[in-house]
């Protein structure tokens, strides 16, 4: 990569935790379309998992992941060990304020600090010109974008659309934890988001009404333990009372022990 960079080639980084799927592939392909060299990082980052979360059971099909990277245009895979990424105990952390408080920040204390710190490390090691993230993790994308701006990081953050299964479920490495009934039930999340999107498109601006309707759809699956349904400003991630401009409708919930998140972005200014 050093030589490529010296020769004026652009480097794109796709940070992942592995267990690659079509969502990751869309990022790799987007990177390959815009960059001369594409690096995929595969690192199950311990510092973004809380106690009792799925760090130990997180799937790690490394050989298959490397094959997927090669097939879809990656030039290199960076798969460091935890000891390489965190030599000794880290005393330096990157924290983005405010944006990390709502949504997933409420239920996953320390999660975003782990994400921003590892991304800053990955950026420092790989030195990408562009880094690619998925809209699926909307809050993560907003937080990373803000980190890059606030710390004058010399790279562009590119956010790519959420890739979904044919029935609407957002593709996720964690979907493989779902039993067949749960897999079926999980589709309610996107149906609920779509309901909210339809209301917004139809001109409904009262956030609490929209949220009530979304919750109504989600209640059809009693097994889903809803963590939050939030309507926030797409940039500040602050909850809104009235829909205006670009808004993010986001849901998180649990089916059994599997935590699922999804969101839709609605731009009410778009014609």
Binding site for ligand AMP (CB under 6 A): 16-17, 23-24, 26-27, 133-134, 136-137, 160, 162-163, 170-173
d(CA 64, CA 21): 10
d(CA 224, CA 231): 19
Closer residue to ligand AMP (CB): 133 or 190 = 133
Which residue among 21, 24, 75, 111 is the active-site one? 24
> C-beta of 129: minimal distance to ligand AMP in Å?
17
> C-beta of 204: minimal distance to ligand AMP in Å?
27
Closer residue to ligand AMP (CB): 118 or 211 = 118
Q: Is 28 in contact with 74 (CB distance < 8 Å)?
A: yes
> C-beta of 241: minimal distance to ligand AMP in Å?
28
123: tokens are 């950026």
Closer residue to ligand AMP (CB): 135 or 230 = 135
d(CA 208, CA 197): 14
Distances (CA, A) of 235 to 124, 140, 141, 186: 25, 12, 10, 27
> C-beta of 27: minimal distance to ligand AMP in Å?
6
E-strand ranges in the chain read 11-16, 37-42, 76-78, 130-134, 156-160, 224-233, 246-255, 258-267
Phi, psi of 39 (to 5 degrees): -110, 130
d(CA 263, CA 271): 21
140: tokens are 């993560």
Cβ-closest position to ligand AMP: 134
- Told to judge if 72 belongs to the known catalytic residues of this protein, a careful annotator would answer no
Match 């779902």 to its residue by tokens: 178
Q: Is 66 in contact with 77 (CB distance < 8 Å)?
A: yes
Sheet hosting strand 224-233, strand order edge to edge: 224-233, 246-255, 258-267
> C-beta of 69: minimal distance to ligand AMP in Å?
12
- Which residues participate in catalysis according to the annotation? 24
């Amino acid at each position: 990569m050093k030589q490529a960079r010296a020769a004026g080639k652009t480097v794109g980084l796709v940070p992942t935790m592995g267990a690659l799927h079509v969502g990751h592939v869309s990022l790799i392909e987007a990177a390959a379309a815009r960059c001369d060299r594409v690096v995929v990082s595969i690192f199950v980052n311990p510092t973004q998992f809380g106690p009792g979360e799925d760090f130990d059971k997180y799937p790690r099909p490394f050989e298959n992941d490397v094959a997927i990277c090669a097939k879809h245009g990656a030039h290199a895979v960076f798969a460091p060990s935890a000891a390489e990424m965190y030599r000794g105990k880290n005393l330096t952390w990157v924290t983005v304020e405010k944006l990390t408080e709502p949504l997933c920040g409420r239920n996953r204390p320390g999660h975003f600090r782990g994400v921003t710190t590892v991304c800053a490390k990955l950026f420092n090691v790989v030195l990408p010109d562009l880094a690619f993230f998925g809209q699926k993790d909307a809050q993560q994308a907003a937080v990373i974008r803000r980190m890059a701006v606030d710390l004058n990081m010399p790279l562009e953050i590119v956010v790519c659309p959420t890739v979904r299964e044919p029935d609407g479920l957002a593709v996720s490495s964690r979907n493989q934890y779902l039993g067949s009934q749960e897999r079926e039930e999980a589709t309610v999340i996107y149906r609920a988001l779509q309901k909210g999107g339809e209301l917004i498109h139809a001109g409904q601006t009262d956030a609490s009404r929209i949220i009530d309707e979304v919750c109504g759809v989600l209640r059809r699956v009693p097994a889903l333990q809803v963590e939050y349904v939030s309507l926030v400003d797409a940039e500040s991630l602050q909850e809104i009372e009235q829909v205006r401009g670009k808004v993010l409708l986001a849901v998180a919930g649990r089916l059994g022990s599997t935590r699922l998140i999804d969101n839709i972005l609605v731009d009410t200014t778009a014609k």
